[in-house]
Amino acid sequence: DDGGELELLPLPFKQRLVPPLDGRLVVFAANTVMHRVLPFAGSEPRVCINLWIEGDVTAAFPRPLPPDEGYNSFAVQVLKVLRK
């Protein structure tokens, strides 16, 4: 495996590794989901394109957590920071 996976850390949920597949499009709210690309060690070149879209946002990001779902205090604190 050549690496280069996208690691999504959508607190308070489980992390996800998204393998780099030809023709794959991954869309997520980068301002609300911690993420990184793992090191790439292959010999064939790859291309990654980032696109930011700005506009009028009518809904709060990130959306509030459902009440009393047993989230730990760390996840709640992270969401408070992201809302600022």
Residue 70 has pLDDT above 90, yes or no: no
- Which of 11, 16, 30 lies closest to 69 in space, CA to CA? 11
Nearest to 10 by CA among 68, 63, 70, 84: 63
What is the average per-residue pLDDT within 40-54?
80
Q: What is the pLDDT of residue 12?
A: 85
Across the range 37-51, mean pLDDT stands at 84
Q: pLDDT: is 64 or 29 the higher one?
A: 29
42-45 LR contacts (CB < 8 Å, sep 24+): 42/2, 42/3, 42/4, 44/2
For 21-42, how does the pLDDT look when each residue is reduced to its tens digit (9 = 90+)? 888 888 888 888 899 999 999 8
pLDDT of residue 48: 76
CA–CA dist 47, 23 (Å, integer): 11
Predicted confidence band at 19 (pLDDT cuts at 50, 70, 90)?
very high
